[in-house]
Amino acid sequence: MCGIFFAASSSGPVFPDANTVTLLRNRGPDSFQIHTARHDCLQDTVDSSGKQKSVSLHLTFVSTVLALRGDYLQPQPLVDADSKSVLCWNGEAWKIAGEPVPGNDTEHIFNLFLESARGPAMQEKQEAVHFHDHSDESVGRIANLISSISGPFSFVFYDRFNSKIYFSRDCLGRRSLLQGVDEEGSLRICSVCDGTSMSFEEVDTNGVHMIDLAHLSLPDVHSPATANGALKTAPYCISTIPWVSTDNASVSPSRCLRNPIPPMNRSVPEGEPPPLRLDSPVLETLEQKLRQSLELRIRNVPNPPNFSPEQNAKVAVLFSGGVDCTLLARLAHEIVPLNETIDLLNVAFENPRVAAAANAANGGVSGSDCYESCPDRITGRAGHAELQRVCPNRLWRFVAINVPYKETLEHRDQVKSLMRPHNTEMDLSIACALYFASRGQGLVSQNVDVPWVVPYTASARVLISGLGADELFAGYTRHPVAYSKHGFKGLIDEINLDVSRLGKRNLGRDDRIISHWGREARFPYLDEEFVAWAVQLPVWEKCGFGTAGSADALVGAVPSNDGDESLPLSDGVSQSADAIEPGKKALRLLAFRLGMKRVAGEKKRAIQFGSRTAKMESGRTKGTHVLN
């Protein structure tokens, strides 16, 4: 995990302010470096004498580093001594061209960028600095390289060979990157919203964005940088190399990126589809694919700085006790060495509105009850107990993260700043839950019979998240609604919509929130190979709608709020696999096969309702309400 700041200006170097530096260092506490460069280039405009105008563009590169790969720290930005090309890389290249990348990936990625920019003709001529690839084949080589990278990333690459700047996020948007133009016309690209009043927008995940410095038309520094709230980035000649499906023959392969996610399988069964059962072959493949994805993300994690025999967890799970995260914890048990603890981070909030209602009903609630009665705390403790039962030779450390209302208010402005440009009530309630959960400060429980023991702060820098399971396997309450209204076609359309907008929704926000604590979220369900496999499955091998005993009668009885705290909790015990509900049925059956019968029956509950961050002050607040 790294923090990136980049600026391009014709009026002099632009540096991040003190607040932005602090935010970047929070993301990457292990290294902080600044590199500046000047690029002299001709503009497309001419002066009064008819001569082509020239301009000196000042480039500023800032990187902070959270070292999580290999056995050494690789400081950034990386600068090539010969060409003066520069890379700021915030990513995890798990595979390149299908081959795993062992150890530290940053320097390896930089060398590949340099090779792609230089090209074979330039290598033969040995004209590393002055040769210009007029055929523009370098763009195609850069596109091919980025297409070959499997893993989350955002980056800024200054290709000094060919006078180009590339910046991007991966197609699923798993790493944050924002862009904006300030009042002086300077372009800024950053992992976080900086301390200025300028407007930022998230870098689009529709492709890799390129600035051709050989064809630059800079804005007048005295003209306003915004018009009607829209960012005026056109003067920087930003073009986009798009992600396209491999079956799209209308786009030149030299000017596009190969999208690793294929089109959705839209097969509709003829009649009733075969039911998903514990012996269905797809479950074997599901376990294998998910295990492979998880292993890439938790194998060989380096020791954190405060690693000790007492605090020996390198990996923690953002843990609600639901099937998505508990299944990952169960599989992690078979990958992480037995002498290492796995921390389960479970967050619960004091919600004054819920507390007032409980006081009125019960004549008073003790301090601990407001946390222990949270839906996610109840399911979390049940999931912890089941993991202890199924995997008794593993130390599972349940971290009860209790957040008083006063503390929520104290941190609210910080959370709102980190989640920018997102700014709705739902954004805030979800961001608050992730903010305190990833901070990892709570009370430890190593015995299911003892609610808590002592204060504890998690040492793990790698946090495993179950995000993506609902989108891929039809886990939201809108999925049974879609099936009830429009059958399998409607269900497939809804799943396809969820998958297609993954990169444009909330992963950038979540990355800014979680990485604030010097930790990195990893998403096994969002591995490109796993997603590609899941979207090609026929829908009846992912969920159980449309089959006998699939609990379709529940459709219409499910509230649209995705898990308000007033909903009854399931008893969690699924004595029969046939009784498991249809949403995410493949994942639920896999959990059942791995011994977690209770977890297999847990209902879906949105994090803001399970942890009680939603509707803290008013029960009538809508999630879409825009914050002041």
Q: Known catalytic residues?
A: 2
Contact 24, 64 (CB under 8 A): yes
**Neighbour count for residue 160 (Cβ, 10 Å):** 22
> What is the pairing mode between strands 520-522 and 455-457?
unpaired
Distance CA 87, CA 80 (A): 9
Q: Are 278 and 589 in contact (CB under 8 A)?
A: yes
Alpha-carbon distance 331 to 244, whole Å? 33
For residues 413 and 598, the answer to whether their CB atoms sit within 8 Å is no
Query: Would you say 128 and 110 are in contact if contact means Cβ atoms under 8 Å apart?
Result: no
Q: To 5 degrees, how large is the angle CA 238–CA 234–CA 627? A: 100
Alpha carbons 614 and 621: distance in angstroms, whole number: 9
For 481, counting Cβ atoms within 10 Å of its Cβ (0-12 exposed, 13-18 middle, 19+ buried), the class is middle
Cα distance between residue 413 and residue 311, in whole Å: 31
Backbone angles phi, psi at 123, to 5 degrees: -65, -40
Provide the residue type at 169 as one letter.
R
Residue 86: closest CA among 17, 147, 10, 4: 4
As a whole number of angstroms, the distance between CA 416 and CA 95 comes to: 35
Instruction: Give the whole-angstrom CA distance, residue 326 versus residue 281.
Output: 22
Tokens at 115, concatenated: 């090779």
* Dihedral angle over CA of 485, 487, 489, 492, nearest 10: 90
The structure tokens listed for 89 are 């890389």
Beta bridge partners of 202: 178
DSSP tag of 457: E
| CA 474 from centroid of its chain's CA atoms | 19
Residue whose C-alpha is closest to residue 492's, from 555, 543, 562? 543
- 105/111 Cα distance (integer angstroms): 10
- How many other β-carbons are positioned within 10 Å of the β-carbon of residue 467? 21
CA atoms within 13 A on the CB side of 611: 29
**Which are the contacts of 391, defined by CB distance < 8 A and separation ≥ 6?**
330, 333
CA–CA dist 375, 566 (Å, integer): 9
**Enclosing H/E stretch for 352:** helix 352-362
End-to-end CA gap in the chain: 31
